[in-house]
Amino acid sequence: MSGEHHSSDISARVRRVEALLEERGLLGPGEIDQRIDEFAAGGTPANGARVVARAWVDPGFRARLLDDANAVLPEVGLSMAGGLQEQRLKVVANTDDVHNVLVCTLCSCYPIALLGPSPSWYKSEAYRSRVVRDPRSVLAEFGVTVPPDTGIAVWDASAESRYMVLPRRPAGTDDLDEAELTALVTRRGLIGTALV
């Protein structure tokens, strides 16, 4: 019950701030909702999967993606724009030496344009606190066993910066084309809670 009261207080505050911004001419009527709708409309894990598959088949694209993801996303028709400011995206690659996993410890910042709406577990306090303290155990609960000699890097998103994991290309997929590879990539793989 108290959670409902807290949520309604926050909603009322948000509506007041929005009304003030509109009154002062800083936002048009309904502009926040319109921008959120525009941003979320194209957000799907299929976008991130396309980026990963391209990186798996094109070493030059992969290098540019890991160097400056924002600059390379337009090559596949995507961007991190959509809000009031462009979000910085850093793509981190899983290797033999390191497995990457994403979190936002303060809230649930997440690259919606590339991964679609965030899963409920990603927003949970349990995930947000435990993956930082004991990532190996949390990953094991998702069915991901990281070898003891492989490090785990936990990337903490913020309001300005987002992350996406570039999973390792599965063995035995050399004969698959880019579209077939895209179909292998999951949202959890892009977060790091699955291998692909």
Output the six-digit token pair for 91.
């793509």
3-class SS of residue 166: strand
Closest CA to 195 of 127, 133, 142, 122: 142
How far apart are alpha carbons 17 and 21 in whole angstroms? 6
The active-site residue out of 7, 107, 124, 137 is 107
For residue 8, indicate whether it is catalytic. no
For residue 104, indicate whether it is catalytic. yes
For residue 124, indicate whether it is catalytic. no
The active-site residue out of 79, 108, 158, 161 is 108
AA identity, residue 117? P
For residue 108, indicate whether it is catalytic. yes
Q: Report helix angle 45-57 to 59-67, nearest 10.
A: 120
Neighbours of 188 (CB within 10 A): 21
Q: Which residues are catalytic?
A: 104, 107-109
